[in-house]
Chains A and B, each alone.
Chain A
Amino acid sequence: MATHRSCALWSCCGRRWSRVMRCCRLPGFRSSWPRGPLGARHLSQEKQATETHFGFETVSDKEKGGKGDIAFRFLNYVRAQHKRKQKKQLRAQQNVSWEEIAKKYHNEEDPLGGSRVVVCDINKEMLKIGKQKARAQGHKAGLAWVLGDAEELPFDDDKFDVYSIAFGIRNVTHIDQALQEAHRVLKPGGRFLCLEFSQVNNPLISRLYDLYSFQVIPVLGEVIAGDWKSYQYLVESIRQFPSQEEFKEMIEDAGFEKVTYESLTSGIVAIHSGFKL
């Protein structure tokens, strides 16, 4: 019996395999497979036989000879299709896209999931545009829009669970004051998160990045927006901003603990995080 089973497992060339499968399996089945109802076992045997029949070339009549009728073959075919569909779905479930995951978390009535957000900016026009964008994305409640200076926030102490700032802290005149204010308004246990341009750590990429920043970006600003000077200022201000380690130390100086950073795209931007404990 063992030899029969092994020949079923190890022979591989098409026709011979199918023939071997069928010759060896039948006796093998009786001993190695659990004894279910006769019908079921018979079906599974049949399935192997018909699958090979469908999958590979037809074998000669001698071996085929009268194996089950059309109804069975049809049923098996349908079963095989169903199984294929299940397998596909399983595979798709394993390769979920970010969009699908986000959709699962999305809540139509309350996109913020019960939390309340205060959006603060020093520029009224920015707030106006932000309000329009939020409304366009479907946010109806839960957002407050406050005009304020990051160096002197109009909020009381220990009020927020999270303080996040993206591409904003570079434009603050006194970054240390902004960090201290962030520390003040956060609750104990609150988290500070900052996304900002930073220093590139790879020398080759740094040269390419400098080349692009200084040669191309102001030109694009001029051609598209008619404004060379603003974009020249932008790329220069990026170079003036402290490196990842320096900024980490500044955040620690403001009183945050467990300060970490993650560089993205070789350090073109970095996400810094700190906790008020």
Chain B
Amino acid sequence: MATLLRSALRPLRPLGGRRGPAADVPLRGVRHGAGLLYPGHIPTSPLQKALLAAGSAGMSLYNPYRHDMVAVLGETTGHRALKGLRDQMRKDPEGAEILQERPRISLSTLDLDKLRSLPEGSLGQEYLRFLDVNRVSPDTRAPTRFVDDEELAYVIQRYREVHDMLHTLLGMPTNILGEIVVKWFEAVQTGLPMCILGALFGPIRLSAQSLQVLVSELIPWAVQNGRRAPCVLNLYYERRWEQPLLALREELGITEPPTVHVRGPA
């Protein structure tokens, strides 16, 4: 019993070297390089992960503008789903390439001028238009901190950066209604608990009218397309900027999206 408790309190990554005064006291060395799997990594014990998951879930519900809390919820609860995603990526040739090369979508890596010069209707153009219309930037994604596997940390980072691509693919705006639709699609595709929770609890703050539209039209459409489409993480978006958006949608089996009015928080 005592050993079980001890193991629940020790950070998951075993650390060599001197032990501190008690087994549940993390070592100083942990923060200073030893045991860090990637820059920004914060090793956490199972108890801390549980507390973080509970706290971030509550805080996300209480204040939906805390995007960092949604991210933390994803990181602390997504271990199994991330492993599944990683395996799916490994099996697909394009996905395996992504895992190998580890591309990142950020303003520094994007060539904005080139994207703007692309023909109308291409993925690159539509993506830029989406960023402009919704006034978002790909650099607002928080780095991964609480995932204790370096490859899985990249997978969740990639998932976050692909989220904006999904908005473009599904033609959904970034208001609450649009976000919920994308969450439903992602929940079906990735199985991440954070997506499932977001899909189920997000609609709590919606008006009755929006809820009606959501349940009757949007969710069935999202679920259908989510099941039909292959894993969206397997697309090397950085190489597909010139591809017309409609062609890409056809490739993935995504039907015409229903119109969601960009009217604000619904």
Residues of A within 8 A of B (CB): 207, 210-211, 214-216, 218-220, 222-224, 226, 228-229, 232, 236, 239
Contacts and interface: CB of A to CB of B under 8 A. Distances in A.
Contact of B48 (A207, A218, A236, A239): A218
Nearest to B51: A219
Interface of B: 9, 21-22, 24-26, 28, 31, 42, 45, 47-48, 51-52, 55-56, 58-59, 66, 68-69, 72, 145
Contacts of A211: 9, 24
A215 B55 contact: no
Given A207-B24, A223-B55, A223-B56, 9 more contacts: A207-B22, A210-B25, A211-B24, A215-B24, A215-B45, A219-B52, A223-B52, A232-B31, A239-B21
Contacts of A232: 31
B25 A222 contact: no
A215 B22 contact: no
A219 to B, nearest CB: 4
Contacts of A214: 24-26
A215 B31 contact: no
Output the residue of A215, A218, A228, A232 with the most chain B CB within 10 A. Answer: A215
A195 B39 CA distance: 37
A232 B145 CA distance: 14
A228 B45 contact: no
A178 to B, nearest CB: 24
Contacts of A218: 48
21 contacts: A210-B24, A210-B25, A211-B24, A214-B24, A214-B26, A215-B47, A215-B48, A215-B51, A216-B51, A218-B48, A219-B52, A219-B55, A222-B72, A223-B58, A223-B69, A223-B72, A226-B66, A228-B145, A229-B42, A232-B31, A239-B25
Contacts of B25: 210, 214, 239
Contacts of B68: 226
A220 to B, nearest CB: 7
A229 B43 CA distance: 12
A222 B24 contact: no
A210 B22 contact: yes
Q: Closest 5 interchain pairs by CB? A: A223-B55, A219-B51, A215-B47, A219-B52, A223-B59
A106 B162 CA distance: 63
Contacts of A239: 21, 25
Contacts of B42: 228-229
A216 B24 CA distance: 12
Contacts of A226: 66, 68
Contacts of B28: 236
A188 B51 CA distance: 52
A219 B57 CA distance: 13
Contacts of B31: 232
Contacts of B58: 223
A210 B45 CA distance: 14
A222 B52 contact: yes
B155 to A, nearest CB: 22
B35 to A, nearest CB: 14
Nearest to A236: B28
A115 to B, nearest CB: 43
B53 to A, nearest CB: 10
Nearest to A213: B25
A204 to B, nearest CB: 12
B9 A215 contact: yes
A211 B26 CA distance: 10
Nearest to A220: B55
A200 B229 CA distance: 59
Contacts of A220: 55
A141 B41 CA distance: 50
Contacts of A215: 9, 24, 45, 47-48, 51
A216 B52 CA distance: 9
A224 B68 CA distance: 11
A275 B85 CA distance: 67
B3 to A, nearest CB: 15
